Chains A and B, each alone.
Chain A
């Protein structure tokens, strides 16, 4: 088992003419917790969506847990089973109950007995402190509750890597904390995490490394203490002054 679980090597991506990722080189160690920040449109979402191939890169190499991501469908399937993802808009399945949302992938993708899938789903719901809502439908829950269900859902296939794309930006302030608490718990359990967020408190307390992106490039990366205390590039300083001022 190698120490590096995700490795970008000279990865480039375009949307039509628009060069959205430029020469991305990034190695993520097993168990590492990374926070990615940067201005809107800088390519943060695109970067992490490449990891489970929701977006495909056009140049360079990207491998996840030893599997190189290409057009190979089997490779994509294998990677997707090891990577969980949480979206800004939750993306729960509205026609299924909370419990069914959680058991869908384990039964159909993991071929797990339904009983077992339900037991594990309930355990995950306990973990995000929402077990009592199992029989409800997603749209009957608050935003914070929905996001916790989404986190539980992505944990049901016991992924090695968790991707978070601005998981708290669609939430009212009083719900942000309940979601961050769940994420902090998770971070303490040794799972590899990549999180796009502007919650700098979270970055400080949890991240091993903070990455700053702008215009499709990784401008700067450092430990949170260094990153916030001594930003090296002007663009980082500029960005930090904007988001830390309020």
Chain B
């Protein structure tokens, strides 16, 4: 700490006060001292607890360490996006669990955002029926415990749907039964590289079109259609790529066999129940956040927009939502985190997420501390990443005041 006497005369005296103040009484010094003391205390307590635990485990002959992660897991996992079999090590099983958790989280977050925003705007609609329906939805789903909802969806899916042998076949190629949803997927072949290239080209063209449209709007005020041409370009690009690639047409269609459905892609009833349940539950909260965020914008803003002749949709899009966003984003990210963490309830209906895998591992190896540490670290990292993203967004969106 530089005392004020040592500072060059050009610098104004620091806020630590006049030269007479002893450094023991300066605010900056005290702040630093308190922080150092806090860190020391935390380290001491943490060290004591850790030492104690290790000592107790040693006395009782409980093994510790993360070495077991390299041993074969020996249990199978019901569903996985990654190749996995029971002879692979525990760490691989954890990765599969994490990927299953993230799969629910990502799909759930996307669906929740869309659905929740629509519901929130619907709650402010002038249409009585729509408004009432949205309100009823919100009140119903956010007031029933989420675990109950997951169980309910799971039972609906597994009890009310027919057996695989009598699977519902609403659209050709889609089968819905107690065992989940089967759907057609294209078989990968080299020709699909061209299709992907075509899709990439379509994206580039759509992006270029959107830029030109914005430019045209700025130069001449012409409002070119953007959405449909962009979609058209994506489709056309993909189609051309597919034609160039020799029209690889092999599609893996699920087929109805004697007893079961084979082939195609499939999602399990567990995955559907978890994703659907969490989406429906979290969307109710997001809707409330969106509604209150829009309502938090002062009335005068809408009045000014109206008096300028903006339509209701323009008012929402150009005036209300941009201002509401700053209020909406932080609590919505919180809901994203909640959704991700709530996905651990999946264990109740047997979806193999991180917690479920971790539980199995714990039962087999008895390494409770290690398993729980890993789980906590993963969820902590996910949370911190989200928080960092939110902070970055908030600084970018902050309204400039003097």
Contact = CB atoms under 8 A, between A and B. Distances in A.
Interface string B299-320: 0110111111111001000110
Interface stretch (B10-18, B217-225, B258-266, B278-286): B217-225
Nearest to A117: B221
A109 interface: yes
Contacts of A139: 399-402
Contact of B300 (A77, A87, A117): A87
A116 B219 CA distance: 8
Contact of B319 (A87, A93, A116): A93
A154 B322 contact: no
B356 interface: no
B323 interface: yes
Interface residues of A, number: 34
Interface string B190-233: 00000000000000000000000000011111110000000000
A117 B220 CA distance: 10
B303 A54 contact: yes
Interface string A102-134: 001101110111111100000000000000000
Given A94-B323, A104-B318, A137-B399, A115 B308 contact: no
A83 B401 contact: no
Contacts, number: 84
A91 B300 contact: yes
A47 B175 CA distance: 63
Contacts of A105: 308-310
A157 interface: yes
B144 to A, nearest CB: 36
B303 A87 contact: yes
Contact of A95 (B219, B221, B308, B322): B322
Nearest to A89: B300
Nearest to A111: B221
A137 B401 contact: yes
A22 interface: no
A180 B67 CA distance: 80
Given A85-B307, A115-B219, A137 B400 contact: yes
A157 B308 contact: yes
A114 B323 CA distance: 23
A109 B300 CA distance: 19
Interface in A147-198: 150, 153-154, 157
A7 to B, nearest CB: 20
Contacts of B310: 104-105, 108-109
A91 B304 contact: yes
A107 to B, nearest CB: 6
Nearest to A53: B306
A45 B336 CA distance: 44
Contacts of B305: 93
Contacts of A52: 306-307
B314 A108 contact: yes
B204 to A, nearest CB: 25
Question: Which of B220, B304, B322, B400 has the most chain A CB atoms closer than 10 A to its own CB?
Answer: B304
B221 A114 contact: yes
B31 to A, nearest CB: 32
Sorted from nearest, which 5 A-B pairs have the closest CB atoms? A113-B221, A91-B304, A91-B300, A105-B308, A85-B307
Interface of B: 217-223, 298, 300-301, 303-311, 314, 318-319, 322-323, 399-402
14 contacts: A52-B307, A80-B307, A89-B300, A91-B298, A91-B301, A93-B301, A94-B399, A109-B314, A111-B221, A111-B223, A113-B218, A114-B219, A137-B401, A154-B307
